[in-house]
Every structure is written in C-alpha cells, then in structure tokens.
Structure 1
Amino acid sequence: MRRELDEYMSYDVGALCPDDWDLGQRLMLGGCDPLPRRRCLARASKLFRRPLPTNESLWAIPDDGNVRWSRYHCRSYRCLSARNPRRGYDRCVGCFDMDRERRRWVSGGNGNGSATTLADFRIDEVLAVKPGEVRVGLDVTVGTGSFAARMRESGVTVVTTAVNLGAPFAETVELRGLVALYATLGQRLPPFDNSMDMVHTAGVFDGWVDLQLLDFVLFDWDRVLRPGGLLWVDKFACARKDLDDYMYMFLQFRYKKHRWVVSFKSRDEVYLSALLEKPPRS
C-alpha cells in the first residue's frame, strides 16, 4: 500500500493529474480513505459534450463522450449491456438498462422482468408511512442512481453512494443529474448526526459482508438517521443458514418494524426486506 500511495502522490504541481483514478480507488478500497488532496488538474474526457437537461437526463443513458473509458474493459455504454458476457463488471448487472431500471420500485415491476414479491416494496407505499416527512435521504448501493431518480420524482432529494467497480457507476449517477457520493463502505459518512430522513440500501452487501464490518456500517447509518427516520433494507440477500446472524445485526437497534419480510431467492438463499423506524434517544 505504501508503494501505491507514493505512486499516487508522484505528480507535477499545477499540471494535469496522471490518468490514475483507478489507483486512487484501489487505495480507497484498501483503507486509505479519504485520499490525500493533490495540487494537479483533474482530467476530463476529450469528447465531453453538454449534458441533457434534467427532465431528459433522469432516464437516459449519458453520451459515451462524457466518460473517461481508459480504465474500463468497455469503451461505451452499449458494451455495458447485461447481454454482453465481456462487459467487465458483475455487480448490479442491468443497471445501465434504463428501460429495466425505470420499472423498479413502482407498481407492477421489480426491474428484472419477473413478478414482484413481498420483498419488493414500492416507493409510494414507503413514503405513505411518513407522509411529508421524508425529504432527504441516502442510498447506499451499487447502481446508477435509479432509486434517487424515482425519489426525485416524489420530491425527495437522495444522495447515492457510488464506487466504480468495473463500470462508470459514479459518473453515470451524476450525468443523470443526480448527486453521487464517491465513497467506500469503510468511510465514515459525511452527514451530521441525526440529519437524514431515510437511509436506503440495496445490493451492496448481499450476504458476503463480514459481520464486524456490517456492525460498524449499521452504527454509522444509525448515527446519521434522525429520530423517526426510516431505514429501508431492500432485498438483502444471504444464505438461509446465515439469516439469523444477519437479522440480529439489524434488530439490535430496536427500531420499530413497519415492514419485515423474508422470502426465498433460491433453495439455499433468502431475501430480507425491512422498513424500520429509528426510535428517539436523548
């Protein structure tokens, strides 16, 4: 890690930064987070074009020219299609298909072409739990900002955490006119204590996460949620044999259960979806 950090900090002051964002991300994922600041000029795509206006950008794939593709396997959004076995990433497959994405969290579709299950909560159902109270939130996910786009249509401002795991997730969120927080799971969240109306999470853990890491992450989410704020656990996937351990991690905070659903993903795996309300503490 020391060698990589020395390489990252080797640059000419005032000149263009090296094309090494992937090195910076490896450092972040390795625990060097936040990265030290540098006094060089960030590179942009040579083909950058004016972005679409907000009313068009929410559900449109950005222009290929607005992304620096040099560190990805793909060189275009078309290449990122879920139908391409050489797309270069395996998290959130289908997230760059806007026709699929815009069916999620609304009546009649979970986005993957199959019927919705009890574990698929709709945004209108969730917002009805706290009418008018959900104004700002955080989406901790692997994705392209579609949850934030849907929430914006409901008048809610959501910031999406994003890391570029083999594809331009962070750039895509922001080119859609949304706000991406480029941060890893190991980073303490920037919001102040008791400030968020909602924390939503989907697809970022999926049963692989170490229980100790999950514990620290959940305590940080609890810190930023205000009293009465909602924690939306959206189809957390894990092995059936591990379900009790993971359920304890969420239940330890003694949140009020508005919804709590366990459904089968496969013979040996399950989904846990929950809508939980943080109690007042003083």
Structure 2
Amino acid sequence: MGWLQILLGGLVIAVSIASLFKFYSAGFFLHHEDICQHFYHVSDADDGFDLRALSDRVGEVLDRMDKLQEKLEKTVQEMEKSKVDLGKTTMTRLEHKRFLEQEEIRKYITPKENRVGNMNIYGTERIYNTIGHACVLMKKELEEYMDYDIGSYCKDDWSLSQKLMVNGCDPLPRRRCLTRAVQGIFSAYQARIRRGAIRNAPAVFEMDKEKLKWVTNSSLAVDFLIKDVLAIKPGEIRIGLDFGVGTGTFAARMKEQNVTVVSTALNLGAPFNEMIALRGLVPLYMTLNQRLPFFDNTMDLIHTTGFLDGWIDLMLVDFIFFDWDRILRPGGLLWIDRFFCNRKDLDDYMYMFLQFRYRKHKWALSPKSNDEVYLSAVLEKPPRAI
C-alpha cells in the first residue's frame, strides 16, 4: 500500500512540474509590461493610456455617487417625515392621494428645489407654495378653479375664487393663465343700479354721502372725526390699515391728511376692490381667515368699521385682535369705529378690547336699537418691557 502512495505522489509532482514549465513558456511569470509585449507585441504598455486621468475620473464618479447617496437619504427622510405628518392630520391617505390627482394642483404644491447651489436668498433649499388647509374639503371647487389651459385666458370665475377663500381655502394656489381685463366694471355696476337690476345697493357707493364721513360733525357720540384722532399723536401717524368693507372712503380722507392707508376688501355683492383702485387707493383682497401680510410693529394706525360686529365668534375675534396687536407699533392707535353687538354680549367684547391694556384716549357707547349698542374707541398700544 505504501509503494502505491509513493507512486501517486511522484506522478503528481511530475504533472505539476510540467504545468509550471508550460505557464513559464507562455509568459505568465513576466512583468505586466512583458506580458503585453509577449501577447500583443507592443513596445510600451503605457503608451496612450493616462493612469492619473483614469484615477481622477474614478474619484469624480465616486464623489457624485456620494452626493447622490446623500440626496437619496434626505429624500427618504423627507418621505418618512411626510408620512408622519400625514398620519397626524385628519386627512386619510386615500383623500391625500385623490387631492393630488389633479395635475396642476400637484405641480403647484410640490416643493421646488433650487437650481443653483443648496441655499437660496431666503436661506432654504427649496420653495414650498402655500395653500389653505380647507382646500381639501372643497376638492371639486378647487379642481374647477385649477382647470384651465396654461398660457391661455383664465375663466371669469372670480366668484368661485372668492367662495373658496371665504370658506377657508385661503391662500389660493397661483395659476398660469391670463386674467381677462374687464373694462368699465364700476360704470356697468352703476348702470345696473339705475336700471333697477340691483336693489338695496350698498350705501357706500353713494359718493355724496361718503365724502362727509369722518370730516363733519355727527349727532352720535360714537362718531369720531379724523382731525381729532390725529391730534392725539400729531405728526406720528403716517401709515395705517383700514380693516372693513367699503369703497376706500376712510383711506381717501386720510390721504388728504398725508396718511397712507391700505383698505381690506372683498367683493361682497359689489365691486369694492375695483372701486377702491379707481380712487387711486390700495385694496388688499383678503378674508378674515388670513394672517395680515405686514411685519411686526410697523403700523401707526388700525381702523375697523362695519365688519367685526356682534356676529363674530369670540375665539376668532381673539385671534384677529392678537394679529392686530402684532402689526401695530408701540404708541400706535387702534380705532374701533361703530362696533355694535347685543347688549348682553357687550361685556365679553369689552374684555376682548381691553385685555391688551391699551391706553384709552376715546371711549363712547350709544344705543343702536333696544337690544343693540354701538361702541367706538381709540386706544394706544403701550410699550412693553421684555
């Protein structure tokens, strides 16, 4: 048995030596340059081949792969965050999916990445377009509003857009269509009034009566004059906000006193915005739902009349008043003009007005009816220590 193992071992050694000899003859034990010469008959294996350029290119590809990996990880994190945020809302995943079915809505609300660099002028990596949270509750109306031919004329659907706004779909998404120019809209409105097509037209369109407001004496104690209010802070009232519904008469009278006033307006049954603009004044098209688009502590005066009355919810009033307080500068004036409510609710609203501890300059009550009262006041925002 031993001699058989010796014989097999010798045979293996012989075969191995023969194989090594053949590999050596083929040139497999030469340097890589010699291998190239042996097989391809070239004089220099490095001719025309830049190893450094190849190394740099490989490094560049690896860097790009790292960046893509980072971007992918960020995207995954944002998707996970979106899932969490979606889970916290009352909107189901199915509702969210259906809400995004309309192509133009999806394009609008999708975050827009910056094209150059990581940060833009605002210090963010992308821009998020805003849309009112209640838009999802008015999906049909919103899709109708966003159904248009890009670059063509928009439909004459301002009433639809205002319906969306006052029902909480505010701000509305931007659109990529051209607004139709309507000529003589106010003249047409007046003509309809004369023909009797519009009954009970708002009294604010009676310009002969409007021009007397806030400049002539009234029999009611709640009617303050502009000159008396401006005398409280002589030379200090320069800009202000008129929060109400009207044709801009208050702003027009203040303009005569070199005070610039922006007027909020909605077209509630009449072209209020167009009328304000025709008078060379600035209409601010917004609803009660919206945070005022002014920076903190910038307004010298806030005037309100004919809009915030006893119909409004106390919690909503509270949010609105705090927003007014935010934009009114210390020393600025809050002019509450002819606010009216039911007598039994007066204490609640008075608390709303007085909770900020503003200084009283003017304060007057007057009966409106047996059950309702008027309240007018001019209050000064105090400087607050931090």
Which residues of structure 1 form unaligned runs of 5+? Answer: 49-64, 70-74, 109-114
Partner residue of 1:17?
Answer: 154
Structure 1 residue 102 displacement after superposition: 0.4
Match of 2:179 among 30, 42, 48: 42
Match of 1:180 among 272, 276, 283: 283
CA gap 1:84/1:210 in 2 versus in 1, 3 angstroms: farther
CA contact (8 A) 1:79 1:87 kept: no
Give the TM-score normalised by structure 1: 0.84
Residues in 2 aligned to 1:80 and 1:122: alpha-carbon distance in whole angstroms = 31
Query: Per the alignment, in what secondary structure is the counterpart of residue 323 of structure 2?
Result: helix
Encode CA deviations 1:199-258: one digit per residue, 9 max, x unaligned: 000000221101111111111000000000000000001111111011111111110000
Percent sequence identity is 63
Between structure 1 and structure 2, the one with the greater Rg is 2
Partner residue of 2:166?
Answer: 29
* Matching of residue 191 in structure 1 with residue 300 in structure 2: no
Partner residue of 2:264?
Answer: 161
CA gap 1:259/1:85 in 2 versus in 1, 3 angstroms: farther
Partner residue of 2:206?
Answer: 97
Partner residue of 1:87?
Answer: 199
Letter matched to residue 33 of structure 1 = D
Residues in 1 aligned to 2:163 and 2:198: alpha-carbon distance in whole angstroms = 22
Match of 1:135 among 232, 238, 242: 238
Partner residue of 1:77?
Answer: 190
Residues in 2 aligned to 1:154 and 1:80: alpha-carbon distance in whole angstroms = 32
Higher relative contact order (CA 8 A, sep 6+): 1
Query: How many pairs are equivalent?
Result: 248
Partner residue of 2:339?
Answer: 236
Encode CA deviations 1:125-162: one digit per residue, 9 max, x unaligned: 00000000000000001100000000000000000000
Query: Per the alignment, in what secondary structure is the counterpart of residue 228 of structure 2?
Result: helix
Structure 1 residue 163 displacement after superposition: 0.3
CA gap 1:153/1:18 in 2 versus in 1, 3 angstroms: same
CA gap 1:28/1:128 in 2 versus in 1, 3 angstroms: same
Partner residue of 2:361?
Answer: 258
Query: Per the alignment, in what secondary structure is the counterpart of residue 129 of structure 1?
Result: coil
Match of 2:249 among 136, 141, 146: 146
CA gap 1:84/1:147 in 2 versus in 1, 3 angstroms: farther
CA contact (8 A) 1:261 1:274 kept: yes
Which residues of structure 2 form unaligned runs of 5+? Answer: 1-137
CA contact (8 A) 1:88 1:166 kept: no
Structure 1 residue 2 displacement after superposition: 1.0
Over the aligned positions, Cα root-mean-square deviation in angstroms equals: 1.7
The structure with the largest helix share of the pair is: 2
Residues in 2 aligned to 1:20 and 1:147: alpha-carbon distance in whole angstroms = 29
CA contact (8 A) 1:193 1:223 kept: yes
Query: Per the alignment, in what secondary structure is the counterpart of residue 25 of structure 1?
Result: helix
CA gap 1:148/1:20 in 2 versus in 1, 3 angstroms: same
Residues in 1 aligned to 2:277 and 2:240: alpha-carbon distance in whole angstroms = 16
Structure 1 residue 85 displacement after superposition: 9.1
The structure with the largest strand share of the pair is: 1
Give the TM-score normalised by structure 2: 0.62
Residues in 2 aligned to 1:40 and 1:118: alpha-carbon distance in whole angstroms = 50
Residues in 1 aligned to 2:191 and 2:383: alpha-carbon distance in whole angstroms = 48
Letter matched to residue 12 of structure 1 = D
Query: Per the alignment, in what secondary structure is the counterpart of residue 189 of structure 2?
Result: coil
Partner residue of 1:205?
Answer: 308
Letter matched to residue 285 of structure 2 = Y
